[in-house]
Amino acid sequence: MSSPTPAPSKRRHVLWHWVKSQPIEALAFLGFLVACISFLTIVIPEWSQGAGGLVMANLLAHGYVLIWMLVATVVVRTVGIRQTVAMFFSGFFLATTVSWLFTRPLLNLFGGNDLTVAVWVPLVEELAKAIPLVLFLWLYSRRSGQSHGVSELMMLGFAVGGGFAVYEDLLWNRSMASSDGAVFGAFTEPWGAVFPTFYAGFGDLLIVHAGWTAIAGLGLALASIYRRRRILALCCAVAPLVLVTLDHSALNMRGGFAPVVNVLTLNNVLPLVVLVVGFPLAILYDVLRRRHRPPALPVPGRELYRVGLGNRGDVWRAVINVLALGHYRRGWTAAAYDRASVLGRGDDYARLAAWYRVVVPPSRVAESAPEK
């Protein structure tokens, strides 16, 4: 008697099932892969032209800060690593393209002077870097039962500004992060242990592109949260953009107005204080919002991770559970932010409950229930 034909492995069809059930997410992932390949096609040739050390210095400095920001916000953020890297690419590709389209014609027409280089260029570049953040907030505004945090917008802003800085330094064959051009040179600069991306030049310390866009993210996040209070929201959105544009102008300006601009930014100290103090305060603010009105679902804490990772040696199951736990934690946090907002839009958590069932399926719940 012949043995029965074994059933095809379900694991083989996981990817195809995901593509059919979530075509938009699959398309976004495909776009992310295309961005990765495009990034490599631009960066790799720089090694053959002798600029590999400068590129690596920039990537290490910005990557280092993004890693500790991801760790610092792990409990309070609603976005994952892939979304953060995608924002880096948006700064590298989108913001630089928009900036070039609006600045190059005027620079060609009027040349490099304080009006073009120190007024028009900083204004356009800071607004261009804000575009990915505005798009991110717009997409969140269309999600029912979910909202964003504040600290993650600062982190995403840092990612956008970092992508912009890496591309700009490629064009100029330099590294603003590493004054001596060494791969690890950025970490020997002032604040190198925390923010190796800072620029120490002209006797001052500047937070430059990544820091500027992080501050813009702080303002836009607060404006989104308090958008019903229109005057407050407008101030939250505009004031940080004005501050970082002035700081950017102070770096580029060489004429008689330079001392005036420096006074407005307290000689570049005010943006630095806003960034360094604002980020931990934003995390604290998110923690309090997260606890205010949590959704009526299990908290994604230590106990849930213990249950989800109790896979009895099944590595594949452990990988699936780690991914599902990440989705559940971020979704739970987004739901808590929405409930804490006066603009809360309902309690439809079907998708969130589905991620929970992946981690703790009904069979596991029955097994863990106490006997009567």
No. of helices (H) and no. of strands (E), the chain: 16, 2
Provide the percentage of residues in the chain whose pLDDT is more than 70: 87
Report pLDDT for 15.
54
Report pLDDT for 242.
96
Residues 220 and 180 in one domain: yes
pLDDT category, 271, cuts 50, 70, 90? very high
Is 232 a domain residue? yes
Torsion angle, alpha carbons of 56, 58, 59, 64, to 10: 120
Residues 148 and 46 in one domain: yes
Neighbours of 138 (CB within 10 A): 10
Is 94 a domain residue? yes
- Judged against a pLDDT cut of 70, whether residue 9 lies above it is answered with no
Residues 62 and 158 in one domain: yes
Report pLDDT for 147.
92
pLDDT category, 182, cuts 50, 70, 90? confident
Alpha carbons 221 and 155: distance in angstroms, whole number: 11
Residues 37 and 112 in one domain: yes
Average pLDDT, the chain: 86
Instruction: Tell me whether residue 3 is exposed, middle or buried, using C-beta atoms within 10 angstroms of its C-beta: 0 to 12, 13 to 18, 19 or more.
Output: exposed
Is 178 a domain residue? yes
Closest to 221 in 3D by CA, of 327, 136, 163: 136
- Judged against a pLDDT cut of 60, whether residue 174 lies above it is answered with yes
Residues 158 and 116 in one domain: yes
The arithmetic mean of pLDDT across residues 347-351, rounded, is 75
The arithmetic mean of pLDDT across residues 101-127, rounded, is 93
pLDDT digits (tens, 9 = 90+) for 183-228: 888 998 888 999 999 998 777 889 999 999 999 999 999 999 999 8
- Cα angle 213, 160, 83 (rounded to 5 degrees) comes to 130
- Judged against a pLDDT cut of 50, whether residue 6 lies above it is answered with no
For the chain, what is the domain count?
A: 2
Residues 184 and 121 in one domain: yes
Report pLDDT for 7.
46
Closest to 168 in 3D by CA, of 249, 251, 95: 95
Is 15 a domain residue? no
pLDDT category, 20, cuts 50, 70, 90? low
pLDDT digits (tens, 9 = 90+) for 336-346: 999 887 665 66
User: Model-level pTM?
Assistant: 0.90
Where is pLDDT greater, at 47 or 45? 45
Closest to 356 in 3D by CA, of 336, 333, 326: 326
Domain range for residue 309?
302-368
Residues 195 and 219 in one domain: yes
Is 222 a domain residue? yes
Residues 189 and 215 in one domain: yes
Residues 318 and 275 in one domain: no
The arithmetic mean of pLDDT across residues 25-37, rounded, is 81
Out of 270, 292, 314, a domain closes at 292
DSSP 267-293: TTHHHHHHHHHHHHHHHHHHHHHHHHS
Alpha carbons 216 and 238: distance in angstroms, whole number: 9
